[in-house]
């Protein structure tokens, strides 16, 4: 019954009875295609390609190049990544366009004559780059699943680079955060600085050299591996005592792999295989939780946070030892994901005491960066793509005259057993450097099926936090039935076994929960930062439509076809 005690009260009553808006934005929904990415401009580029009759693969190529212009900290031409593809008429495919180690690099590449590690050399400078795979990866997506001409897909990125675009808050903050790195290289400084200051919000970012490189690539991807763009990159690297050679570039190969696929409760999760550790670690975390009544514990409860944290520690402990490029080393995935093994690992977890068989280490101070986009077209083709330069803006070096930032992916290898990389990850023998080898990754482009139906496609950036961002978003959606925007926005936490610290987002744990977790022995890293930037699409049973979410932590957006 509606009763008005004066105009205002009556209004409030009727509003609360009709509005369904929550604490986060409503997801974007559309009967046709959707594009979720870290950059509103790039998402719109993808939606325009869909409107022109392009497939999700066409849109992925266009978004991949557009992000290299509008989200240069991670969107790239000079990096690498992974794409997971669902297309009618065939099983899901996994396209591995991860960077490879140059032929001149080996296990001692970053060690001096005394065997001491020069940790900075795998992160900054011309020796930090792996052979880029992005152009070859996007070209394969186009060749296998695209419909529109290649040039049509690159033209929006070329125009954005040529005419520039207005820098928004997210990009301004990202440039500000990395300004020291960007200032260190004259070519990079020329692009991202104006009159002595890093380009800020509301200013126009123009990238003429990048526009010229994209124009050359419009004639065909060979321009990168054998033509003018590649030659310019190699000339600059070699002039500066890097080792990447023309032969490294011309012999780069994309690898098509079987994704990992496992049942979880009533669902099937399809995700990244090695050389990413992401899928296996995600499936291990989920597998350990298979029989737990998470619904009864409740999202954000001390029991839930504690249990999930303990499973993260166990799965990341295995990550440190057992994974590497499958072309070079074995990855005992079946053993690590064996339900009996995972049940045993789960049985070792105490609900009252945190495990601490852990060596100390430090979490990264640097902002790890990578970027993810998810695209679905009106015919159901869906692509979940994560690609990266590794750290924000990679090496911070733009190869002279190209406008292309060089990756620092070599830091994802084990540079020395026992030493930690920029993400604080300590890795094993299987991930030592070898010529042509791919460094171990955490990137986790993922699909979830219910029966035969795809119901969720997602991924995130953030080094090792990627895996836990994907795990928590997936659990929020499937277990706690949050809509996809709520699932992406809900506060997250992260544990990677070593260092033995539980990172949580500002206001992500209430003081009572934190105390309860401390009483069980969890050690916290009190650091005021968020992590991850989930870009996800999900089927909504009530709306009978696909819905999309771009994480509120960053400035991304979902665009509708």
Q: Interface with ligand GLY by CB under 6 A: which residues?
A: 370, 388, 390, 412, 441-443, 463
- 33 vs 394, beta carbon nearer ligand GLY: 394
Does residue 499 have a cis peptide bond before it, meaning omega lies within 30 degrees of 0? yes
Length of the chain (residues) = 561
Cβ-Cβ contacts under 8 Å for 485 (sequence gap 6 or more):
22, 24, 25, 26, 27, 547, 549, 552
Active-site residue, from 29, 55, 370, 465: 370
* Min dist. Cβ of residue 303 to ligand GLY (A): 30
- Contact at 8 Å (CB) between 419 and 119? yes
Which is it for the CA torsion 317, 127, 173, 43, positive or negative? negative
Tell me how far, at minimum, the Cβ of 370 lies from ligand GLY, in Å.
5
426 assigned to active site: no
- Of 393, 307, 288, the closest CA to residue 72 belongs to 393
Taking the complex as a whole, the smallest distance from the CB of residue 421 to ligand GLY amounts, in Å, to: 9
Q: Which of these, 81, 79, 67, lies nearest to 38 by C-alpha position?
A: 67
Instruction: Find the shortest distance in angstroms from Cβ 28 to ligand GLY.
Output: 27
Query: For the sheet containing 502-504, what is the strand order?
Result: 493-494, 502-504, 524-525
Nearest to ligand GLY of 412, 483 (CB atom)? 412
Is-contact 505 530, C-beta < 8 A?
yes
Pick 277 or 513: Cβ nearer ligand GLY: 277
Q: Minimal CB distance to ligand GLY: which residue?
A: 441
Closest approach of ligand GLY to the CB of residue 194, in Å:
30
In 164-257, alpha helices (H): 169-177, 179-183, 186-192, 208-218, 222-225, 228-239, 246-250
Nearer to ligand GLY, 382 or 390 (CB): 390
Report yes or no: 115 and 387 within 8 Å, Cβ to Cβ. no
44 within 8 A of 403, measured Cβ to Cβ:
no
Nearer to ligand GLY, 346 or 437 (CB): 437
Cα 315–chain centre separation: 19
Q: For every residue of 454-507, which 3-state class applies, written as one string?
A: EEEEECCCCCCHHHHHHHHHHHHHHCCCCCHHHHHHCCCEECCCCCCCEEECCC
Q: How many beta carbons lie within 10 A of that of residue 194, not counting itself?
A: 14
CB of 526 to ligand GLY, least distance (A): 25
Our CB check for ligand GLY shows the closer of 54 and 75 to be 75
Q: Considering beta carbons, is residue 384 or 388 the nearer one to ligand GLY?
A: 388
Distance in angstroms (rounded) separating the CA atoms of residues 116 and 4 = 77
Closest CA relative to residue 186, chosen from 338, 453, 398: 398
Comparison of 221 and 463: residue with beta carbon closer to ligand GLY: 463
In angstroms, give the least distance from the CB of 98 to ligand GLY: 8
- Evaluate whether 228 touches 216 at the Cβ level (below 8 Å): yes
> In DSSP terms, which residues pair with 450 in a beta bridge?
267, 453
Please, what is the Cα angle at 306 between 488 and 467, to 5 degrees? 40
Q: Shortest distance, CB of residue 171 to ligand GLY, whole angstroms?
A: 20
Residues designated catalytic: 370
């Amino acid at each position: 019954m509606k009763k008005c005690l004066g105009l205002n009260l009556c209004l409030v009553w009727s509003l609360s009875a009709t509005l369904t808006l929550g604490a986060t934005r409503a997801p974007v929904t559309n009967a046709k295609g959707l594009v979720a990415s870290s950059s509103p401009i790039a998402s719109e580029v993808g939606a325009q390609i869909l409107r022109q009759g392009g497939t999700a693969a066409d849109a992925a190529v266009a978004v991949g190049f557009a992000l290299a212009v509008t989200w240069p900290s991670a969107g790239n031409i000079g990096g690498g990544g992974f794409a997971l593809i669902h297309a009618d008429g065939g099983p899901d495919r996994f396209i591995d366009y991860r960077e490879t180690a140059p032929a001149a690099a080996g296990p001692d590449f970053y060690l001096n004559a005394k065997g001491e590690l020069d940790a900075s050399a795998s992160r900054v400078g011309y020796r930090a780059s792996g052979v880029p795979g992005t152009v070859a990866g996007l070209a394969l997506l186009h060749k296998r699943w695209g419909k529109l001409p290649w040039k049509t897909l690159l033209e929006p990125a070329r125009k954005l680079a040529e005419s520039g675009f207005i820098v928004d808050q997210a990009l301004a903050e990202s440039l500000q955060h990395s300004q020291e790195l960007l200032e260190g290289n004259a070519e990079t400084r020329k692009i991202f600085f104006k009159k002595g200051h890093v380009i800020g919000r509301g200013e126009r970012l123009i990238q003429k050299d990048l526009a010229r490189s994209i124009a050359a690539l419009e004639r065909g991807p060979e321009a990168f591996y054998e033509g003018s763009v590649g030659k310019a990159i190699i000339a600059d690297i070699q002039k500066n005592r890097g080792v990447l050679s023309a032969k490294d570039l011309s012999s780069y190969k994309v690898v098509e792999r079987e994704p990992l696929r496992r049942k979880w409760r009533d669902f099937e999760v399809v995700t990244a295989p090695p050389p990413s550790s992401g899928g296996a670690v995600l499936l291990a975390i989920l597998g350990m939780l298979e029989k737990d009544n998470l619904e009864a514990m409740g999202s954000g409860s001390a029991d839930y946070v504690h249990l999930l944290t303990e499973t993260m520690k166990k799965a990341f402990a295995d990550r440190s030892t057992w994974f590497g490029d499958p072309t070079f080393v074995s990855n005992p995935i079946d053993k690590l994901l064996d339900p009996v093994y995972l049940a045993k690992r789960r049985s070792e977890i105490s609900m009252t005491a945190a495990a601490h068989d852990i060596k100390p280490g430090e979490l990264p101070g640097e902002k790890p960066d990578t970027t993810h986009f998810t695209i679905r077209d009106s015919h159901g083709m869906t692509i979940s793509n994560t690609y990266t330069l590794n750290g924000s803006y990679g090496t911070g070096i733009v190869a002279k005259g190209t406008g292309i930032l060089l990756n620092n992916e070599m830091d994802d290898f084990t540079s020395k057993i026992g030493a930690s990389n920029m993400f604080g990850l300590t890795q094993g023998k299987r991930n030592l450097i070898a010529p042509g080898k791919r460094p171990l990754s955490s990137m986790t482009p993922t699909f979830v099926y219910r029966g035969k139906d795809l119901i969720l496609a997602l991924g995130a950036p953030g080094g090792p936090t990627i895996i836990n961002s994907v795990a928590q978003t997936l659990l929020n959606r499937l277990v706690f039935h949050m809509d996809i925007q709520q699932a992406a926005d809900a506060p997250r936490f992260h544990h990677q076994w070593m260092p033995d610290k539980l990172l949580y987002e500002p206001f992500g744990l209430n003081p009572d929960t934190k105390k309860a977790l401390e009483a069980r022995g969890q050690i916290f890293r009190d650091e005021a930062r968020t992590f991850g930037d989930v870009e996800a699409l999900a089927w909504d049973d009530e709306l009978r439509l696909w819905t999309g979410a771009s994480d509120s932590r960053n400035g991304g957006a979902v665009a509708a076809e």
